[in-house]
Homo-oligomer: A and B are copies of this chain.
Amino acid sequence: MSTLTLPPQATPAGLAVDIAAFAMHQGELQVLLVERGTLPHARTWALPGGFVQLNEELHEAALRELRTETTVELEPRLLEQFYTFGAVDRDPRGRIVSVAHMAVLPHGTVSVTGGGNTLGAGWFPAHQPPPLAFDHAEILAHAIERLQVRLEYANLALEFLPETFTLPELQGVHEAILNRKLDKRNFRKRLLAQGVLATSGERRSGVGRPAQLYRRAGRLRLVGNL
């Protein structure tokens, strides 16, 4: 597992992945964090992540770390590498380069428990995270930025919701990601004009007037590269 035929001029560095995994809970954008159980930064919250194995692809490593460090029940709906953090001094253990990924976990992904070397796992407000280990605060900030960019031209918000959903729910996802309020009428106009939503006939009961249910009319998203 550890034998390697690198050329002599290659100075091996530690290769890691970190994952900023997002979900919506209580109408808020939340990020999945783990409490580190080992040094450095023991008992500090961090993004889930770990070292890449020699025979696995980067996004496979990200998925594996998500699954072993936190018990999330569902498959991520989107997993995308967004930047590689490689500052010489970012990890006191030596030169460790982290390929940072952004993941979207679908609706229903709620209970998370620690696993592997972590003391625990939990959801935290993505826009106001607790103090984080290493350079993970920076990584998280960039992940949110990328999430906001993706929101525009992929219809990424759908990934946060169950198969059928109402327009106010969808608007809530957009607002939580962008961290600002949107105009109801303009939002509906824009989304419906895209033609990617189909009405799903039924209605969902609540406190006030029932809302029209929609489902996606279009394509799927891929987990993978670029």
Contact = CB atoms under 8 A, between A and B. Distances in A.
Interface of A: 1-2, 4-7, 9-16, 50-58, 81, 83-84, 86-88, 93-97, 99, 142, 226
Residue from the set A13, A51, A56, A94 with the largest chain B CB neighbour count within 10 Å: A13
Contacts of A1: 11
A56 B88 contact: yes
A58 B86 contact: yes
7 contacts: A10-B15, A10-B16, A10-B96, A12-B12, A15-B86, A52-B97, A54-B88
A1 B15 CA distance: 18
Nearest to A17: B86
A134 to B, nearest CB: 13
Given A58-B86, A84-B81, A87-B57, A51 B96 contact: no
Contacts of A99: 84, 86, 97
Nearest to A58: B86
Main SS at interface, chain A: loop
Nearest to A2: B11
A93 B7 contact: yes
B51 A94 contact: no
A199 B88 CA distance: 43
Residue from the set A10, A16, A54, A96 with the largest chain B CB neighbour count within 10 Å: A10
A60 to B, nearest CB: 9
Contacts of A52: 11, 13, 86, 97
Contacts of A88: 54-57
A95 to B, nearest CB: 5
Contacts of A55: 88, 95
